[in-house]
Amino acid sequence: GVTLTDEEAAALSALVQDVVKASRLTTRMRACLVEGLKTGSVCAMTSLVEGKPVIEIFPAKHCTPTLTRGGRVSRLVIQYKVPDATGPGKMAWYRREIGDGLDVVFALVPCDDKGEPDWSKVARETEAPIEFVAVRWLRNDDDGVVGLDSIDGHALSEGLEDEVFAVDMELSQLYRNALYNGEPQL
């Protein structure tokens, strides 16, 4: 029900174009498409970094979203292992929780044989209040996904893994070398 004057509409259009250009929206959306085709799901988060709009894409395998009935992300946990600075070959847990009014990054925790640490006892490295979770969870080909409770979509090569492996082997120089040099010589 809001009407804009021609000048206001032109100003709004210019603002939208500036945001699209500053955030490199076309490039980032292409990256979302590629990630969705590869893995079936994409986790994209918008934020401001040094005053500029940014779209970050996180590997879906490191993310655990909590989705509302409408498919909106109400909470996101990003967790994976990173190289630890304490020594070569050592790994540490990285964890970030976004939701419940906070964006929390925990201190790195060295990995051990006990598995995942108790995050309620780990120090918080940064904690920032947020008004909403600026994350979109996109499922590739979600029409074929059974039920709304499933968080994953379908990858482009789903069901074709054997054929993709065969093509990879056929193109492999190592495999080709084994075929050519493994046959008996005259």
Local mean pLDDT, 10-residue blocks, the chain (186 residues) = 87 88 83 81 87 86 87 91 86 94 94 87 94 86 57 72 82 73 68
Cα dihedral 44/48/53/56 (nearest 10):
-20
Give the span between the Cα atoms of 149 and 129, in whole angstroms: 28
**Residue 44, token pair as written in the block:** 């994209």
pLDDT value, residue 46: 87
pLDDT value, residue 148: 55
The whole model's pTM is what?
A: 0.69
Give the span between the Cα atoms of 152 and 35, in whole angstroms: 12
Give the span between the Cα atoms of 12 and 15, in whole angstroms: 5
Q: Which residues fall within 8 angstroms of residue 41, CB to CB, at 6 or more apart?
A: 60, 137, 138, 139, 140, 151, 152, 153
**Residue 3, token pair as written in the block:** 């009407």
Strands 91-99 and 135-139: unpaired
Nearest to 57 by CA among 87, 35, 39, 24: 35
pLDDT value, residue 30: 85
Strands 135-139 and 41-49: antiparallel
> If 0-12 CB within 10 Å is exposed, 13-18 middle and 19+ buried, where does residue 178 land?
exposed
Which residues pair with residue 12 across a beta bridge? none
User: What is the number of residues in the chain?
Assistant: 186
| 100 backbone φψ class: left, alpha, beta (φ>0; ψ -120 to 50) | left
Q: Which residues fall within 8 angstroms of residue 20, CB to CB, at 6 or more apart?
A: 26
